[in-house]
Amino acid sequence: MASSLTKDSVSTTGSEKTFFGHPRGLATLFMTEMWERFSYYGMRALLVYYLVSGGADAATGAQGGGLAMRATTATAIYSVYVSMVYLMAMPGGWFGDRVWGARKTVTVAGFVIMSGHLALALPGQAPFFAGLVLVAVGSGLLKANISTMVGHLYNGPDDPRRDGGFTVFYMGINLGAFAAPLVIGTVGKEHNWHLGFALAALGMALGLVQFLIGTKHLSPKSSLVPNPLSAEERKGVLTKVAAVVAAVAVFYGVVVAMGAYTLNWALVPLTLAGLIIPIAVLVRIKRDKDLSTTEQSKMNGYIWLFVAAAVFWMIYDQGGSTLSLFADAKTTDNVGGIHFSATWYQSLNPLFVMALAPVFAWLWLWLARKNQEPNTIVKFAMGLVIIGASFFVFIVPMNMAGDGKVSPMWLVSIYMIQTIGELCLSPVGLSVTTKMAPQKYASQMMGVWFLAVTAGDCFTGLLSLAGVSLDGLGIIAMEASMAAVAGLAIYMYRKNVKSLMGGVH
């Protein structure tokens, strides 16, 4: 599939081969990212189901064989895992900038991710959690650097092909995310968990092969280390890392020796770290005396948007946990007599993104021509109100289900509403992050944006660890209200926030 798509999509312009009119290296990065997302979203579609699944049903022969955990524990693990993937994007970008360069970092990341999925394909808790750690670390390394290499293919930020190139690249993300739950999800959930995880490893292997074969088409800049560590800096980093690793090893060694270790000893510190680190990073940037008055003002405005984004992702990312559990337990698994796996719902978001993103792009341009396009603050407010509305809608099928099951169209509608909210907030958030970033932190601020996802997911993880069931009507209504109130608050104070943002629209 990889080779045929590349061959059919690459055309020749003069003596230079192109990929949909873009540098040929885009085909390499497109296919690498598509297969990496195929592996990531396929495994993620299985994660919560595998955690809650018990032994095989003696009466029906239905597959069990999972880790038989409570739903609250499974949701906490899922939330912490997703948050760590985005948290790792910051050190991943640092490795690309200061240690290995983007190309080598992505190569290493591919092997780490593939190893993680292979570990997940083994039975038992130990390889499972080792696999999660490897996939999270590898995804962080890859996520931060592969987009950088897309930028390297073009002649600076003013290259007219640049925006189109990123659009084609993001199509690869959504194609992989769309196919994964249909293939990996069905095989894993309905037939064999570990075969499903092995298919995820195969997906990453295909992406890695594609990358290694096509690496000659990438920009030479992708092999450079932009700001390499000096010998003294390298020694300092290694000393600090060794000290932290030793301290953690000693601490957990004592806990295990005392017989006090439980899963919460790992989950609670990670969850707290996912809440504390984003705050600490924002405070460190905000307190930097090198920032000009204008940059300080922009950071004040950005903090409003960051908190809003964290509330948004708190609800949005429950599509793979709370909504997935409802899909399996309370939603009919057939349409017109055609049965399907509950994992298929995870394909709805990328499907709606591919269908609706061009519509939204046209809508913003149409409104801009009429001088009526909403500014960034209003779009953020819209995204929050819409994501809150999705959970208000969710309350209806929750009430209807009782001891029975509801129509799949309820979840289809909820995922569509959430995607509309995403298209109002997520692309705008990426754009405004680059516009409001202080010059000193220009390359780091994209990692700061991903920390909003970390904070949102860790909040839901903390609730789960506290024993709060996220599928209760009360908590669903509370989260929906939080998002709606946050959206209305930002809208009401939009003039204040806009004044902090300077000239950023």
Dmax over CA atoms of the chain, in Å, equals 71
How many Cα atoms occupy the beta-carbon half-sphere of 68 within 13 Å?
9
Name the pairing type of β-strands 334-335 and 338-339: antiparallel
Q: Which two tokens stand for residue 401?
A: 């289900």
Q: Which ranges constitute the DSSP H helices of 402-472?
A: 408-436, 445-465
- Measured CA to CA, the distance from residue 137 to residue 86 in angstroms comes to 9
Sequence-separated (6 or more) residues with CB below 8 Å from residue 254: none
pLDDT in tens, the chain (505 residues): 443 344 444 444 444 577 778 889 999 999 999 999 999 999 999 999 999 997 544 333 445 678 999 999 999 999 999 999 999 988 888 888 888 999 999 999 999 999 999 999 999 899 999 999 999 999 999 987 898 888 888 887 667 787 778 888 888 899 999 999 999 999 999 999 999 999 999 999 999 999 999 999 999 999 998 889 999 999 999 999 999 999 999 999 999 999 988 888 999 999 999 999 999 999 999 888 888 888 888 888 889 889 999 999 999 999 999 999 999 999 998 888 889 999 999 999 999 999 998 898 899 889 989 999 888 889 999 999 999 999 999 999 999 988 889 999 999 999 999 999 999 998 888 778 777 888 777 667 778 888 999 999 999 999 999 999 998 999 999 999 999 999 999 899 888 877 877 665 5
Cβ proximity of 417 and 389 under 8 Å: yes
Tokens of 284: 């460190």
Contacts by residues 4-13 (CB-CB < 8 Å, ≥ 24 positions apart): 5/31, 6/31, 6/210, 6/214
- 17-23 long-range contacts, CB within 8 A, separation 24+: 19/168, 20/168, 21/161, 21/164, 22/153, 22/161, 22/164, 22/165, 22/168, 23/153, 23/154, 23/165, 23/217, 23/219
Distance CA 272, CA 290 (A): 29
**Do 63 and 190 touch, CB atoms closer than 8 A?**
yes
